[in-house]
Structure 1
Amino acid sequence: MKIFSRLYRQVMMWAVHRHAPVYLSMTSFVESIFWPVPVDVMLAPMALAKPERAWRYAAMATVFSVLGAAFGYLLGYALWEPLVEPFINAMGYQDKMQVAQQWFSEWGVWVIFIASFTPIPYKVFTVTAGLLQMAFLPFILISLIGRGLRFFLVAGLMVWGGVRMERKLIQYIDLLGWLCVAAAVVAYLLLRH
């Protein structure tokens, strides 16, 4: 099934849309709070479509992601009981929050760097940092470093790979898409216990 190649063509059309930077900024902000789709899904095609703007896009994604992280922190800090906890319970994320709290107790501030740079759901850790009343300035600085490294790496890979990378990506996009789906299912099955 060629689902992912059709999706890729659609995403590339969105990437050159005149409002794409606004969409990237909004996605970066909400992804740090609750949005399940990673920013990279939008950043990569935008950097590939307009490599001369790749660094600007990476900077926008970083700034708006950290602003969203600050908002997520505020939600965890000030609105846990009336707003966040009922949402966590409704979504069945109690186990994820417990894991996040455990990681905070084991690794402290470094868990923010790990969550901001890797595919681990960053949003869980932004809200948890607020709930646990982590020092705000280190939270912001580490988020800025981790998110910046991640988004500038994505943009850099797209600039460096350019047209060659796009040709290879198009050639294998459906296989890669199904491998990602399989990996997500396996990760879900392993982490739900």
Structure 2
Amino acid sequence: MLRRLYDWTMSLAARKSAEAWLAVIAFVESSVFLIPADVLFLPMGLARPERLWRYAFVATVASVLGGIAGWYLGHYAFEAVAKPVLEFYGKLDAFDALRASVGYETLVLLLVTSGLAHLPPIKVVTILSGAANINLGLFIVSAILARGARFFFLAWLLRRYGEPIRDFIEKQLGLLAGVGAGLLIALYAAYRYVA
């Protein structure tokens, strides 16, 4: 099923409506969808490099709006909507573990790391942010910074290196972003330990 979903998402890049689909995928990825918008963003950017910055902007705005929807799901409709979504993706246990173990500051850090590297998955953190009553303004600012950094960095890589960077992005960027997110979490933990 996951492979078919991935293939379907890739096929959207060839359509005239690709930009609208990018917005849809970026929106739903932040609250309920499994496949990241990068899967659509990469082939679109390679096919039309002159539109890379526009695509990054569209993906950022839609992703932030999707994150806000996830926040509202967690805040106002956790039992009715968010919990079944998390159960469907097998993320409810991860969500419950995060909810029980993180404080306000840690949750904001997770929002940034999930926005940059999908660690933990962005949909889990957006819903958790709403359920934990994270300030919506702070949530929006951190989502803009994290998601914008991700999409504009991808746009820069594609603009600078073109097709050769695609394999690297698809295979290694997640690992590198994960290592970066891990370092950010380690620095935060060290700061909290020292303070």
- Structure 2 spans left out of the alignment, 5+ residues: 176-195
Q: Is residue 16–residue 50 contact of structure 1 (8 Å, CA) maintained in 2?
A: no
User: Could you tell me which residue of structure 1 aligns to residue 117 of structure 2?
Assistant: 118
Deviation track 1:77-102 (CA, whole Å, cap 9, x = no partner) reads 00112222244345542221023322
Asked if 1:67 is matched to 2:51, the reply is no
Deviation track 1:11-37 (CA, whole Å, cap 9, x = no partner) reads 3x6424211001100000000011110
TM-score for the superposition, normalised by structure 1: 0.75
User: Could you tell me which residue of structure 1 aligns to residue 159 of structure 2?
Assistant: 159
Deviation at 1:129, TM superposition (A): 0.4
* 1:52 partner letter: E
Give RMSD over aligned pairs: 2.6
Q: Is residue 25–residue 60 contact of structure 1 (8 Å, CA) maintained in 2?
A: yes
User: Could you tell me which residue of structure 2 aligns to residue 109 of structure 1?
Assistant: 108
Deviation at 1:165, TM superposition (A): 3.8
- Structure 1 spans left out of the alignment, 5+ residues: 181-193
Going from structure 1 to structure 2, the CA distance change for 1:87 and 1:38 (only over 3 Å counts) comes to: closer
User: Could you tell me which residue of structure 1 aligns to residue 179 of structure 2?
Assistant: none
User: Could you tell me which residue of structure 2 aligns to residue 83 of structure 1?
Assistant: 81
Deviates more, 1:131-140 or 1:94-103: 94-103
Rg (Cα) greater in structure: 1
Structure 1 Cα separation of the partners of residues 140 and 36 of structure 2: 19
2:156 match: secondary structure: helix
**Which of these residues, 95, 103, 125, is aligned with residue 93 of structure 2?**
95
Structure 2 Cα separation of the partners of residues 163 and 88 of structure 1: 35
Structure 2 Cα separation of the partners of residues 151 and 44 of structure 1: 10
TM-score for the superposition, normalised by structure 2: 0.75
Structure 1 Cα separation of the partners of residues 38 and 143 of structure 2: 16
Q: Which has the higher contact order (CA 8 A, sep 6+)?
A: 1
Asked if 1:35 is matched to 2:23, the reply is no
Identity of aligned residues (%): 32
Deviation track 1:128-181 (CA, whole Å, cap 9, x = no partner) reads 000011100000000000000001111111111114446xx49xx8xx59xx9x
Q: Is residue 32–residue 66 contact of structure 1 (8 Å, CA) maintained in 2?
A: yes
Q: Is residue 32–residue 85 contact of structure 2 (8 Å, CA) maintained in 1?
A: no
The number of aligned residues is 164
Q: Is residue 12–residue 21 contact of structure 2 (8 Å, CA) maintained in 1?
A: no
User: Could you tell me which residue of structure 2 aligns to residue 183 of structure 1?
Assistant: none
